[in-house]
Amino acid sequence: MSKEFIVTHYYHSGFSVSHEDTLLIFDYWRGEEGELTADLQISKEELLTYRQVFVFISHEHVDHMDPIVFTWRDLGHVQYIVSSDMPVGTRGKRMAPGDELQLSGCLSVKAFDSTDLGVSFLADFDGVRFFHAGDLNFWHWRDESTKQEVEEAEEEYRKALERIRGETVDVAFFPVDPRQGSMFEAGADSFILSIKPRLLIPMHYFHRADVAMEYARTACNRSTEVLAMPEYGDILKISVDETGFMNLSFPTREEVSRVAPDPVEEAISDSLSEDNPFNDSDLPLSQLAFTPEEKPENPPEEEASQTPDL
3-class DSSP state of 155 = helix
**Which three-class secondary structure string do you get for 46-67?**
HHCCCCEEEEEECCCCCCCCCH
Q: Is pLDDT at 307 greater than 90 in this prediction?
A: no
Q: Is pLDDT at 237 greater than 90 in this prediction?
A: yes
Residue 94, burial from CB neighbour count under 10 angstroms (0-12, 13-18, 19+): middle
Is there a contact between 29 and 14 (Cβ–Cβ < 8 Å)? Answer: yes
Q: Is pLDDT at 276 greater than 60 in this prediction?
A: no
- How far apart are alpha carbons 160 and 5 in whole angstroms? 28
Q: Is pLDDT at 168 greater than 90 in this prediction?
A: yes
Of the listed ranges 48-62, 103-117, 281-295, the least confidently predicted one is 281-295
Confidence category of residue 296, pLDDT binned at 50, 70, 90: very low
Q: What is the percent of the chain where pLDDT is above 90?
A: 79
Q: Give the tens place of pLDDT for each residue, 77-96.
A: 999 999 999 987 788 999 99
Q: pTM of the entire structure?
A: 0.84
Amino acid in the structure at residue 145: S
The full set of domains in the chain, from first to last, is 3-256 (3.60.15.10), 263-304 (no CATH)
Of the listed ranges 127-136, 175-184, 187-196, 291-300, the least confidently predicted one is 291-300
Q: What is the percent of the chain where pLDDT is above 70?
A: 84
Confidence category of residue 1, pLDDT binned at 50, 70, 90: confident
The pLDDT score that the predictor gives to residue 90 is: 84
Count CB atoms within 10 A of the CB of residue 302.
7
Q: Give the residues across from 201 on adjacent strands.
A: 173
Count CB atoms within 10 A of the CB of residue 85.
14
pLDDT, mean over the chain? 88
Confidence category of residue 55, pLDDT binned at 50, 70, 90: very high
What is the torsional sign of CA 88, 10, 172, 244?
positive
